[in-house]
Structure 1
Amino acid sequence: MKKNHALDWKKVFNISLLCLSFGMIIYFCVKDNNLAILIQSFSSLNFFWLIPAVLLIAGVWALEALLYHLIVNSVYPGQYSWKEAFRVTMVGQYFSAVTPFGVAGQPMQLVALSRQGVSSGVAVSVVVRKFLIYQTTLSLYSLGVILLKSSFFESQIHGFLPLALVGFLAQAASVLLLFLFSVSRTFTTKLIQFFFWLLSKLRLVKRPEEKSKRVHAQLESYLNNNKSMNHNWKLSLQLYGLTFLELTVLFSVPFFLYKAYHNPGAPYFDMVSAQAFVTMIAAYTPLPGAAGTSEGSFLVLFNLFFQGETVKQAMLLWRFITYYSTIVVGMFFARLGKKGPELARPEEASGLGQAPEGVSEAPAKKGLVP
């Protein structure tokens, strides 16, 4: 009976994801005749520029998967494929897209990693390390854009800068919280307890207390290894460099749409900066996909570049490419699959370091570098 109940719950969960996905897509299509506006604009688009714009978002997903591939393989060399990393990427992309503040993205990636055979302690470390790298790079990227381009946008749009600064501070605060997770045992312990409590309430984890204890058993190893994270500079440069490239690719989508609508000139850096500001402003919106704020800030900022009414058409196309495509593609990866066999951690793995006393894991010599 318990087995049947578990199977029923998995089916209900997967069907719910499917219904949610289709519901959000339908909402986008019917709201303000968005689909009709997009279809009407296709006849005037330059597909030489439009196709690369669509491919850019696939490039973002591929780079994200490469980051997970590198981090996990630093713990389990040669055992973790890019295909598995791509699934974890799309799980995170999907649940970030459909939940307020993207709150379910990282927890569901942890679940996905665990079902792929990554141990709980390593999975937590990988997800936190990846998110810390992303948020740190995004904050530095945003700071650079503010220093270089804020005067231009402020001269064009009065009252723009305070909104961007609030978003930047929200990003910087998340970096601080992640840093505390990495160095503070008390903070980390309480966060792990909350995390497993949340997963148990969502009925995504069985025996949460038992799993929480297993993670606590590896917590000492995780925290100790953060002290040695500066030893692997090669991995560090790779991760930060790839994340910077990922953000630049994502922020380049509006420029390709700009050219697809036959607009003159090539203000590439200005448009990348404008997209970075859109991301900053939308950072503190508590709705799935930062709904409303993303669209509104895009219209205000990119109205400086697009001619006439094409800015609304571009906004809808940008929104579909960068947000709704994630839901369409991600729903095929977000289903709860079968749990795979545990990955074997080799004695000389360049991963998260030695297990604490009482944990039966072979020691590793090098730590992950954020």
Structure 2
Amino acid sequence: MAKNLFSAVTIFLSIGILTFFLVTEDGMKSLERAVSELQPVWLLWILAGVLAGWFLEGYVLHLFCRHLDQTWTFGKSFYIGMVELFYSALAPFGMGEPMEVYRMTKLGMETGAATSIVAVKSLVHHGVTFVYSFLLIAFELNYFRTKVSNFAVIAVFGLVTNSIFIVFVLTFMMNERLTDSILRVVVRFMDKIKLHKLSQKFYDQVHGQLMVFHDSSRIFGKNYMLYLVAVLFTVVQITVASLISYFVYRSFNLKGESVFIMVAADTFVTMAASFIPLPGSSGGAEGGFYLFFREFFGPYIIPGITLWRFSTYYLNILLGSILVYFGAKRYSSD
């Protein structure tokens, strides 16, 4: 009951933010006018981009899963990928990744191995997004500095948050002594509150899984070809996801703006907003899109935000819930 209530609250929170955009700057009238001008062929391109992004999410995860478990199927990887997208859309603070680990263990993967897979994949995705977005922005730096207000503040925020995350994950993966020290601090706290029996059991279980985690991480660390393939497909995944903003632009029968600049802007907005501690980076994503894309969309900016957000966020909830439900039904019986 509490879980369902929390999910409902997060969805209404996101809808509330979108509604705020609609009722400001004559947004509802702009939306009505824009809907009548929508180009169906570009709506199909938007849907194709969303589906391709889901497929690539599952495929990159599958590369790492198959490296540790040759019996793992792509169907399972696709299902787990949708779990990550669905729960990231519903819950704050990146709860999609812990849910990935949980569901993978339900499918037979050891907890340490599942954690290592998710950590490595997350590291690759954030690292590629970080480098890729700044490279793209660098090519059009003068444009964004003159057209986007507070660009420097957004750039610094994205730089700092992503750097901290990447350093933290790398340290956790490579430093066994540090992770064991953290575990021992938890055990000492449990001992202080008179949980001696539980603390030893907790240490034995978690320490064992941490050993699997570090063993799995070392295996990944020796396979540079695996990383290269994962990086290449992640670049494709990010590019496809960023093209959706261009498809949205064209769906309103707008023309003339650079595809490259739009991909750069979308990638940068996604990177900078990824650490907003709200479901689906709500607020940060919409605000970032408004700042970076209002020059392109002009009077269509509010309808543009609405369609873009529906395509990249609400579909993850609407269709993602269906895929996660049937995926759980399908693989729980294996």
TM-score (norm 1): 0.75
Cα gap change, 1:252 to 1:71, in 2 (>3 Å): same
The verdict on how the C-alpha distance between 1:22 and 1:133 changes in structure 2, with shifts beyond 3 A counting, is closer
AA of the residue aligned to 2:305: M
For 1:173, the aligned partner's letter is: I
Aligned partner of 2:91 in structure 1 is 99
Distance 1:18 1:139, change over 3 A: closer
Query: Structure 1 residue 64 and structure 2 residue 57: aligned?
Result: yes
Q: CA RMSD in A?
A: 3.2
**Cα deviation, residue 272, structure 1:** 0.6
Larger mean Cα displacement after TM superposition, 255-264 or 240-249 = 255-264
**Counterpart pick for 2:311 among 297, 321, 327:** 321
**Aligned counterpart in structure 2 of residue 81 of structure 1, from 73, 76, 84:** 73
Out of 35, 38, 41, which is 1:45 matched to? 38
Alpha-carbon offset, residue 218 of structure 1: 4.0
Unaligned runs of 5+ in 1: 1-11, 196-206, 343-370
Give the 3 Å change call, closer, same or farther, for CA 251–210 of structure 1 in structure 2.
Answer: farther
Kept after mapping to 1: 8 A contact 2:60/2:230? yes
Encode CA deviations 1:340-360: one digit per residue, 9 max, x unaligned: 589xxxxxxxxxxxxxxxxxx
Equivalent residue number for residue 231 of structure 1? 222
Counterpart code for 1:275: D
Q: Equivalents in 1 of 2:29, 2:7: separation in Å?
A: 24
* Alpha-carbon offset, residue 303 of structure 1: 1.4
Letter in 2 for 1:317: L
Amino acid at match of 2:81: T
Superposed, 1:174-189 pairs within 5 Å as 174-189=165-180
Asked whether the equivalents of residues 116 and 341 of structure 1 are also in contact (C-alpha less than 8 Å), the reply is: no
| Counterpart residue identity of residue 280, structure 1 | M
The answer to which of 227-236 and 331-340 deviates more is 331-340
For 2:244 and 2:200, locate their aligned partners in 1 and report how far apart those are by CA, in whole Å.
44
Whether 1:90 and 2:82 are equivalent positions in the alignment is: yes
- Aligned: 1:133 with 2:124: yes
Secondary structure of the 2:129 match is: helix
One-letter code aligned to 2:229: Q
**Pair 1:290 & 2:281 matched:** yes
> 2:242 matched to which residue of 1?
251
Q: Displacement of 1:234 after TM fit?
A: 2.6
Which structure shows the bigger proportion of residues in helix conformation?
2
Residues 59 and 313 of structure 1: CA distance in aligned 2, closer, same or farther (over 3 Å): same
State the alpha-carbon separation in 2 of the partners of residues 107 and 194 from structure 1.
22
Letter in structure 2 aligned against 1:267: S
Query: Which secondary structure does the structure 2 equivalent of 1:305 belong to?
Result: helix
Q: CA deviation at 1:323?
A: 0.8
**1:100 corresponds to which letter in structure 2?**
P
Deviations 1:83-132 (A, max 9, x none): 21122111111221122232x11111111101111111211111111111
Task: Decide which of 163, 174, 178 is 1:172's aligned counterpart.
Answer: 163
- What percentage of residue pairs aligned between the two structures are identical? 26
2:39 aligned partner, one-letter code: N
Amino acid at match of 1:268: V
Contact 1:121 1:214 in 2 (8 A): no
In the alignment, which of 105, 111, 115 is matched to residue 120 of structure 1?
Answer: 111
**Following the alignment from structure 1 to structure 2, what is the Cα–Cα distance between the partners of residues 159 and 28?**
21
What do the CA deviations read for 1:235-282 (whole angstroms, capped 9, x no partner)?
221111111111111111111111111112250110011112212332
Contact 2:101 2:114 in 1 (8 A): yes
Q: Match for 2:106: what amino acid? A: R
Aligned counterparts, 1:4-15, within 5 A = 12=1, 15=4
Q: Deviations over 1:124-169 (max 9, x none)?
A: 1111111111111111112312422222210223431231221122
Q: Go from structure 1 to structure 2 and tell me whether the alpha carbon gap of 1:279 and 1:228 turns closer, same or farther (over 3 Å shift).
A: same
Distance 1:230 1:21, change over 3 A: closer
1:330 maps to 2:323: no
Equivalent in 255, 261, 281 of residue 264 of structure 1: 255
Alignment of 1:16-35 (within 5 A): 16=5, 19=8, 23=12, 27=16, 32=22
Which sections of structure 2, spanning at least 5 residues, go unmatched? 187-197
